[in-house]
Structure 1
């Protein structure tokens, strides 16, 4: 006679995936989702300012890129703190491999943004070509990839959202 307890697969039961509601929110709105828009916009603004500096040679654009990349990095760290808190606090987020993919890409992106900002300190004009522009291109691509994975979590898995009366996938 077999006395082993019957084991259940948590993925088949989906209980471990049901808890996806945000824990870091302001009036029910997830802070991470609100904060990521700033580093996304500033990352692409840095690329735009670098391209305008390359095209015009006007030092204003190199300075603007320096400020934009600082904002992208600083606000990215703030968004990363809220996203990491969500990842660690919410079981349904933590149990999805897509959440970890997004997290790893976001950490890589923050490293690139930080490097791009550091090289511009003291000499924003000299840092643009070729390294600053290359890092700006790389950070724009990484921002798109990271944002796509984050959007997939929200739109496909309803991570960080609350929908009354609808069972989670």
Structure 2
């Protein structure tokens, strides 16, 4: 099973997923630091990271959904794809809720970060589960990987190199 959307032969979804991962992780770290120190810089950093994470999750999710639709029904890969979709949707909803709860506080002298870092922590746990399932889709189910015969793989890795 191969990826439906590619740029120069490389699947787009795996190129985009590091962005929400990094931004969601930054949201959690900045929220923890803000909860400990109370410096508004950390609230603003958490909020900005949260916005970027939600936006990039939508972009990555769009390309992931296109790949998901291409997985044949009734396969183990489709089952893992559903699970991956559910955990990613859960993470997205938790970070979107966190964003909504903290909206309008950018310029506040002492922002009230409702639920502190609890929502980002649960969101990151969902993201980790989704990441494991994404890894399973690639490594076990070979989604997004063009299949080659063992002979083709051997020939590719043992190709003779000419030196001049």
Aligned length: 147
Kindly indicate whether the alpha-carbon contact (under 8 Å) linking 2:47 and 2:102 is maintained by their aligned counterparts in 1. yes
2:16 to 23, 35, 55: 35
Is 1:126 the counterpart of 2:84 in the alignment?
no
Label 1:52 to 1:89 Cα distance change in 2 as closer, same or farther (>3 A): same
Corresponding residue SS for 1:96: helix
Kindly indicate whether the alpha-carbon contact (under 8 Å) linking 2:3 and 2:143 is maintained by their aligned counterparts in 1. yes
CA root-mean-square deviation: 2.0
Corresponding residue SS for 1:131: coil
For normalisation by structure 2, the TM-score amounts to 0.81
Kindly indicate whether the alpha-carbon contact (under 8 Å) linking 1:22 and 1:30 is maintained by their aligned counterparts in 2. yes
Kindly indicate whether the alpha-carbon contact (under 8 Å) linking 1:94 and 1:100 is maintained by their aligned counterparts in 2. no
The residue number in structure 2 matching 1:103 is 85
Counterparts of 2:141 and 2:49, CA distance in 1: 32
Counterparts of 1:151 and 1:88, CA distance in 2: 18
For normalisation by structure 1, the TM-score amounts to 0.79
Q: CA deviation at 1:91?
A: 2.5
The residue number in structure 1 matching 2:161 is none
Corresponding residue SS for 2:115: helix
Kindly indicate whether the alpha-carbon contact (under 8 Å) linking 1:106 and 1:146 is maintained by their aligned counterparts in 2. yes
Label 1:79 to 1:94 Cα distance change in 2 as closer, same or farther (>3 A): farther
Q: CA deviation at 1:90?
A: 3.7
Counterparts of 1:87 and 1:166, CA distance in 2: 26
The residue number in structure 1 matching 2:45 is 64
Counterparts of 1:149 and 1:95, CA distance in 2: 10
Superposed CA offset, 1:72-125 (max 9, x none)? 100001111101111113437796211111111111221111111111211155
Corresponding residue SS for 1:121: coil
Q: What runs of 5+ residues in structure 2 fail to find an aligned partner?
A: 152-164
Q: What runs of 5+ residues in structure 1 fail to find an aligned partner?
A: 1-19
**1 or 2, which has the higher helix percentage?**
1
